[in-house]
Amino acid sequence: MALLVSLGLLQSCGPTPPHEEAAPDASIEMRQRLVPDVTVDNIQRNSFDVTWQTHRKRGDIIHGYNVYVATESGLTDFPDNSPELKAALFGGFTFPGDTDGDIRTETIRIDNVTSGTRYFVHVRTAFADGSLGHPSNEVEVVPRPRGRLTICPLTGQCEDGFSFRLDQAVDRISIDNDFYIYQTKTDVFVASPSRLDRSLRKTLFVDLGPSETLDDYPRLDRDLGGEEKLLIREGRSIGLILNGNRIAKLRPVEIDRSGNNPHVVFEYIFQPFAGELTF
C-alpha cells in the first residue's frame, strides 16, 4: 500500500544526513543486499509512485529509507553531507516503509509535484547505526497532464475544444485549441482546428489500434504520418501530432451519437516536452 506524502518539504534541508560508515550491525554483505532497485509507476498529473526492492531478510534491522527527489540529475554522485543532497531528501525525513508486510518491496507516493517537470529519484537504505547505504539507480519521471474530458460536436451542448498545453477546455475556434469533433449521420470524427480556419492550429491524427488502457502504445512514431480528421472508434487509441513538435494520445471511453446530447468522453495524456515521442 502506497503511503501518500506531500512534496511541500522537498526544498527543506532538514537534519544533516549521517555519513556512510561501516558498523558492526551494518555489514558489507547486508549493505550489498539492501541497495534498492527503484522503479516509478502510476504517473499522474501531480503525483507518482516510487517502488523499490531489496533482498532484505527478517533479521535485518534498519531505520528505514531516504527517498531523494530532485529536479536535476546526478545527485547519486554527491557525498552524503552535500547541500544538494540534503535539499533533495523527500519530505525531510526517513521513510520507515509501507504497511503491506512485504519487507522486500516498498512503495511511497510522491504527490504535490508539478505537471510537466522532470524529476530524478533515488533511494538509500538508512541503517540502525545512523549510516546510509549505497545509492540506488536513479530514475527519471515526468508527471504529465492526463485525465478525462468530454467534447460535443455541437457548440453550446458542452465543451467543444481542448488545449493540451493549458490542460483545459477551450472554444473550438480558439488559437489554443488542439482538436474538435464533428458528427455525420452514422459516425463521429476527431478533426484539426485548421479545417475550420487555416489560421488555427494544425493537428494530425493517427489510429494507433485496439487498446484496453490509456497506457497502451507508449510511443508515437511520427513516421506514421497522420490525417487532419479521423473516425473515432470505440476501443481504439488515437495519436495526435500537435503544433510545437509535441504529441498527445486520446482513448474514447464513451461515444454517444444521440440526437439530444451527442458527445464523446476521452481519456487523454500529453507529452509536454517538444520532440519526445514517449508518454
Low-confidence ranges of the chain (pLDDT < 50): 3-24
pLDDT for 24 equals: 45
pLDDT for 279 equals: 84
Question: What gap in Å lies between CA 146 and CA 255, rounded to an integer?
Answer: 19
Share of the chain above pLDDT 90, in %: 68
Question: What gap in Å lies between CA 63 and CA 160, rounded to an integer?
Answer: 54
Would you say 127 and 33 are in contact if contact means Cβ atoms under 8 Å apart? no
Would you say 206 and 217 are in contact if contact means Cβ atoms under 8 Å apart? no
**Where on the phi/psi map is residue 260: left (φ > 0), alpha (ψ -120 to 50), or beta?**
alpha
Would you say 150 and 192 are in contact if contact means Cβ atoms under 8 Å apart? no
pLDDT for 81 equals: 63
Residue 178: DSSP 8-state:
-
Question: What gap in Å lies between CA 221 and CA 6, rounded to an integer?
Answer: 36
Give residue limits of the domains in the chain: 3-141, 146-271
pLDDT for 41 equals: 92
CATH number of 3-141: 2.60.40.10
Would you say 90 and 48 are in contact if contact means Cβ atoms under 8 Å apart? no
Quick one: which H or E segment has residue 209? strand 204-210
Question: What gap in Å lies between CA 114 and CA 73, rounded to an integer?
Answer: 17
> Residue length, the chain?
279
Local structure of 49: helix, strand or coil: strand
Local structure of 194: helix, strand or coil: helix
The closest of 113, 68, 60, 71 to 94, measured between CA atoms, is 68
pLDDT for 90 equals: 85
pLDDT for 5 equals: 46
pLDDT for 76 equals: 80
Local structure of 237: helix, strand or coil: strand
Edge-to-edge strands, sheet with 62-70: 62-70, 119-127, 139-141
HSE-up of residue 219 (Cα within 13 Å, Cβ side) = 2
The closest of 6, 15, 138 to 71, measured between CA atoms, is 138
